Amino acid sequence: MNDPTAIYPGTFDPVTYGHIDVVRRAAAMFPRVTVLVARNPTKAPLFSAEERMAMVRGVFRSQRRVSVDCFDGLLVEYARAHNATVLVRGLRAVSDFEYEFQMALTNRKLARSIDTVFLVPDEKYTYLNSSIVREVARLGGDVSGFVPPAVRRRLQARVNKKGDRT
């Protein structure tokens, strides 16, 4: 396999230090990593896809091997269209494994040429997810240990703008 492109898909609403850790690990393994922001019609994200992409781009602006894109279809179709051969998924805890394993097998059934690689973030991020970060921010808590400063500012501005902390 020559120069495989890895795709790290997710909602990234918002991008957290755990996501960032997984991207950095993937970038150490693969020559190109695309952080793929999902437009999922079943979710109601706090930030638009464009805003989420901008936050991720801001985090990785100095990493030329990391790119950011957006999609709203079958992940394997995006991967095929962009000649990607690897899907990266982060595993924080055993509870993530069953769902991620099921998705990996489904993707393999849909596209045999695309493999899934599971990466475990640093243990200090194993509890962290975007839902927790949004909830802490909504309730007025300090999220500076969960997200980069620029993301924190956007998150605080958004929850303050909504004015609803319930």
Q: Average pLDDT in the 133-159 region?
A: 96
Q: Domains of the chain: which residue ranges?
A: 5-126
15-52: pLDDT as tens digits:
999 999 999 999 999 999 999 999 987 878 999 999 99
1-21: pLDDT as tens digits:
467 899 999 999 999 999 999
57-116: pLDDT as tens digits:
999 999 999 999 999 999 999 999 999 999 999 998 888 899 999 999 999 999 999 999
Q: Average pLDDT in the 132-138 region?
A: 95
pTM of the model: 0.92
Which pairs with CB-CB distance under 8 Å and at least 24 residues apart come from 24-32?
25/119, 25/121, 26/88, 26/117, 26/119, 27/63, 27/65, 27/66, 29/117, 30/4, 30/5, 30/6, 30/86, 31/3, 31/4, 31/5, 31/65, 32/3, 32/4, 32/5, 32/6, 32/65, 32/67
Which residues form the catalytic set?
Answer: 19, 43, 92, 130
Overall CATH class of domain 5-126: alpha beta
Q: Are 116 and 89 in contact (CB under 8 A)?
A: yes
The per-residue pLDDT of the chain, averaged, comes to 92
Measured CA to CA, the distance from residue 84 to residue 107 in angstroms comes to: 13
